[in-house]
Amino acid sequence: MTEPDINIFSDLIAKYSANDSPIQGWPKVAAVTGALGSGKTEWVLNLAFGFSSRGDKVTIADMDIINPYFCIRQVADRLEQEGFNIINSPERARWMDMSVVSPEVSRALAADGGRLLLDIGGDAEGALALKQFEPDIRAAGYLLILVVNAFRPQTSTPGTIKTMLTRMEDICGLKVGALISNSHLMDETTADDCASGTETVFAAGEALGLPVLYGGVKPELYGEAEAILKSRGVPVPLWPLSRHMMLPWEEGAMWSSGTGA
């Protein structure tokens, strides 16, 4: 099976950089959300590395008010070492199960230049974090991206995806502008699973009038999944998804190593 070239990340970001792309070029703000466990935080990080590979100065804001235990703050120190600017909850509230978002987000929205990625909590209620910043986000220019795993019951059909999207928009006051397929079955995922899930999300995108920017795939399944999608006529580029977040029981996870709070 063919693994992707290392330059693919820059190329995938470049695909939507032009004004005639489906999203009319990347705006300053990319806000990423999805159902709980959809993989939206991994996508925030992968997009961050994609923008960074093109020379962009990237700020990542942790705005997850739903689950403070599997989010950006878990890997913040490592990301700062990689050159990213990280905005977390105020220090005393960093590990509390509270709806606290740093006021630094407002300053980042108003700052000139750079790219701002917002990691929004899972499910529609997580969009509440966006509401207080809605005017500033609109002024800065934004793209709200919904990450979808087509193998989860709440996002398994175009109808259920539309229901989640509508609830989210009603809560935050912003409009979803694009979808990303992150369709998988954990370690059991096959290339055909990835392709089939991406196909489902693409059908939802067509029904909703939204572009599907990427389909996530394990790097080792990239070549096979790409061939399947091409044979089915599904024009969604695949992104070989790198894992940056660790499950609590995995080797190196901060929770198992005792380096958490």
Per-residue pLDDT tens over the stretch 185-201: 988 999 999 999 999 99
Those residues with Cβ within 8 angstroms of residue 255's Cβ, 6 or more apart along the chain or in another chain = 69, 248
The per-residue pLDDT for 256 is 37
pTM of the model: 0.88
DSSP state of 186: T
pLDDT at residue 134, rounded to an integer: 93
The segments of the chain whose pLDDT lies below 70 read: 1-6, 65-71, 73, 89-100, 122-125, 244-261
97-147: per-residue pLDDT in tens?
Answer: 555 577 889 999 999 889 999 998 766 667 788 888 999 999 999 999 999
Cβ burial 35-68 (10 Å sphere, 16+ → b, else e): beebbbbbbbbbbbbbbbbeeeebbbbbbbbbeb
**For residue 45, what pLDDT is reported?**
93
The per-residue pLDDT for 107 is 93
- Rounded to whole angstroms, the Cα distance separating 50 from 216 reads 14
| pLDDT of res. 242 | 84
Domains belonging to the chain, first-starting first, are 8-254 (3.40.50.300)
